[in-house]
């Protein structure tokens, strides 16, 4: 990329107003508002799966609905068997056994009482209650994730009794047959509403925040390796004390994304988002409304963190029914086949201020040594290119800047240096590749998918 092209790209970026990293989705159908449900990704369908939650209805708004979200709409599923309504649960997917797991629930009676002691699994068709020899004894508002390094569901803390809120401090693991309590040297202590996910890059469960109703909230980052919990020594800034936040692991960029929660000292909603790379926290742009006890999960097929519902709004007492999506790289459409296959444009790093945003254009004709990448600030509806001699190909962006890049063995690499201008934070930069293929069609060109990269700090 020459100096003139770099200058053109800088002008393109600096001449615009940044958009938010969080964007509200507009699904054609949606569940009623709810909080404290379980949600995770379904690799079989490519959609998110959500179960249960508190709809806020009086006197008992607990739900036993199973919903699916594919990025366009929410669909109410009809399992053959469903558990009773639940509140304060987490849902994980066990890829080894191909099932979804949730545990427990707060008591859903009007007067509260002991939390529910049940383990349920969903196989994509029906829910089945699993009888175990041992169990955590009944919990809601715990933290839970699936440890893919050891193939275990890991559960920590929670609220054993919804009438007398005293948090638990146990670490439990479920192997698909039974629950086992793990005795650890270190421990985050009694906690309810902690944010938790498994960081595949470092092979550790990450826990942040939560509250001990007897002493208050915490802001420690804890790591669990299957044997012990360790308080991470985090350099630089970190999220403030909060409870009711959520963590989801972005497997494409190798970060745990944290959002939501409330300040336990005053109940104020916290409106920010952070990323944890296994060593340090980085705050990123955020305009999603504050909330607690929402649902958060990562959809790797769409490269998006999705948030639904929670408790927020004016005064922080509204049950929300909104869907928000967060991403720094989104695949748009598909390419058309050439001599090297269907060209694919992929981001190998996220676009961050002052850093290099690297994109690879693959599956090009291996006999051609150059390719073109179109950069744009505007996504367009899929536009057929047959009229210019490219049948079966589509344009997904406006041609604001065209970059010629070198290719070798069917692969072209495009590093773009993002300026350190703060107003670019959250800006969407679109790209689409063009491969030279003289014998494939009259235009001698084939196109790739498009890619949206959202600039972050």
Q: Which residues contact 163 (CB under 8 A, 6 or more apart)?
A: 107, 111, 112, 113
> Cβ(104)–Cβ(116) under 8 Å?
yes
- What is this structure's pTM? 0.80
pLDDT per residue as tens digits for the range 36-90: 999 999 999 999 999 999 999 988 899 999 999 999 999 999 999 999 999 999 9
pLDDT per residue as tens digits for the range 157-191: 999 998 888 999 999 999 999 999 999 999 999 99
In degrees rounded to 5, what are phi and psi of residue 239?
-65, 150
Helix/strand/coil for 316: helix
pLDDT per residue as tens digits for the range 252-269: 778 999 999 999 999 999
pLDDT exceeds cutoff 80 at 105: yes
Provide the pLDDT confidence category of residue 327 given band limits of 50, 70 and 90.
confident
- What is the distance between the alpha carbons of residues 307 and 261, in angstroms, rounded to a whole number? 13
CA 257 to chain centre: 7
- What is the distance between the alpha carbons of residues 119 and 105, in angstroms, rounded to a whole number? 10
Helix/strand/coil for 174: strand
> Cβ(141)–Cβ(166) under 8 Å?
no
> Cβ(336)–Cβ(433) under 8 Å?
no
Surface-to-core class of residue 172, CB atoms within 10 Å of its CB (0-12 exposed, 13-18 middle, 19+ buried): buried
- What is the distance between the alpha carbons of residues 327 and 134, in angstroms, rounded to a whole number? 40
pLDDT per residue as tens digits for the range 186-243: 999 999 999 999 999 999 999 999 999 999 999 999 999 999 999 999 999 999 999 9
- State the chain's mean pLDDT as an integer: 91
Provide the pLDDT confidence category of residue 295 given band limits of 50, 70 and 90.
very high
Q: Which residues contact 180 (CB under 8 A, 6 or more apart)?
A: 134, 172, 173, 174
pLDDT per residue as tens digits for the range 360-399: 999 999 999 999 999 999 999 999 999 999 999 999 999 9
Percent over 90 (pLDDT), the chain: 76
Q: Please determine, looking at this structure, whether the domain spanning 22-326 carries the CATH number 3.30.110.40.
A: no
Supply the pLDDT for residue 8: 58
pLDDT exceeds cutoff 50 at 19: no
Q: Which residues contact 294 (CB under 8 A, 6 or more apart)?
A: 35, 246, 260, 307, 308, 309, 310, 311, 312, 320
Show the beta-strand stretches assigned E in 209-317: 211-212, 216-217, 221-224, 229-231, 243-250, 255-262, 273-276, 281-284, 291-292, 295-299, 304-312
Residue 435 has which token pair?
A: 């491969």
Q: Where are the domains of the chain?
A: 3-17+330-454, 22-326
- What is the distance between the alpha carbons of residues 329 and 350, in angstroms, rounded to a whole number? 7
Q: Please determine, looking at this structure, whether the domain spanning 3-17+330-454 carries the CATH number 3.10.150.10.
A: no
Helix/strand/coil for 146: strand
- What is the distance between the alpha carbons of residues 159 and 138, in angstroms, rounded to a whole number? 8
pLDDT per residue as tens digits for the range 133-160: 999 999 999 999 999 999 999 999 999 9
pLDDT exceeds cutoff 70 at 33: yes
Place of tokens 């199973």: 66
Place of tokens 């408790």: 311
């Amino acid at each position: 990329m020459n100096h003139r092209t770099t200058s053109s790209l800088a002008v393109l970026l600096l001449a615009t107003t940044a958009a938010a990293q969080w964007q509200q989705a507009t699904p054609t159908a949606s569940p009623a508002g709810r909080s404290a449900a379980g949600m995770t990704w379904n690799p079989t369908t490519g959609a998110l799966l959500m179960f249960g939650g508190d709809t806020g209805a009086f006197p008992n708004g607990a739900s036993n609905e199973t919903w699916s979200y594919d990025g366009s709409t929410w669909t109410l599923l009809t399992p053959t068997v469903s558990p009773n309504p639940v509140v304060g649960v987490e849902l994980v997917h066990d890829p080894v056994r191909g099932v979804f797991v949730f545990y427990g629930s707060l008591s859903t009676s009007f007067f509260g009482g002991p939390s529910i002691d049940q383990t349920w699994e969903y196989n994509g068709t029906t829910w089945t209650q699993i009888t175990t020899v041992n169990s955590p004894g009944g919990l809601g508002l715990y933290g839970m994730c699936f440890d893919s390094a050891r193939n275990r569901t890991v559960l920590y803390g929670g609220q054993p009794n919804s009438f007398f809120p005293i948090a638990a401090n146990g670490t439990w693991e479920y192997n698909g047959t039974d629950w086992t309590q793990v005795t650890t040297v270190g421990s985050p202590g009694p906690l309810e509403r902690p944010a938790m996910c498994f960081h595949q890059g470092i092979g550790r469960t990450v826990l942040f925040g939560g509250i001990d109703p007897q002493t208050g909230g915490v802001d420690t980052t804890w790591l669990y390796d299957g044997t012990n919990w360790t308080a991470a020594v985090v350099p630089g800034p970190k999220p403030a004390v909060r409870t009711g936040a959520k963590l989801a692991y972005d497997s494409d960029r190798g970060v745990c994304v944290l959002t939501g929660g409330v300040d336990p000292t005053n109940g104020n909603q916290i409106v920010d988002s952070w990323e944890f790379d296994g060593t340090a926290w980085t705050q990123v742009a955020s305009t999603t409304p504050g909330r607690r006890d929402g649902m958060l999960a990562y959809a790797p097929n769409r490269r998006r963190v999705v948030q639904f519902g929670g408790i927020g709004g004016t005064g922080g007492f509204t049950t929300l029914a909104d869907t928000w999506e967060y991403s720094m790289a989104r695949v748009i459409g598909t390419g058309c086949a050439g001599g090297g296959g269907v060209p694919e444009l992929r981001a190998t790093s996220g676009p961050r201020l002052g850093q290099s945003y690297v994109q690879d254009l693959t599956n090009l004709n291996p006999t051609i040594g150059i390719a073109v990448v179109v950069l744009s600030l505007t996504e367009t509806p899929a536009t057929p290119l047959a009229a210019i001699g490219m049948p079966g190909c589509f344009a997904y962006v406006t041609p604001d800047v065209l970059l010629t890049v070198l290719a070798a063995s069917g692969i072209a690499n495009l590093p773009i240096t993002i300026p350190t201008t703060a107003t670019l934070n959250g800006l969407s930069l679109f790209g689409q590749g063009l491969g030279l293929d003289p014998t494939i069609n009259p235009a001698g060109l084939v196109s790739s998918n498009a890619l949206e990269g959202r600039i972050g700090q």
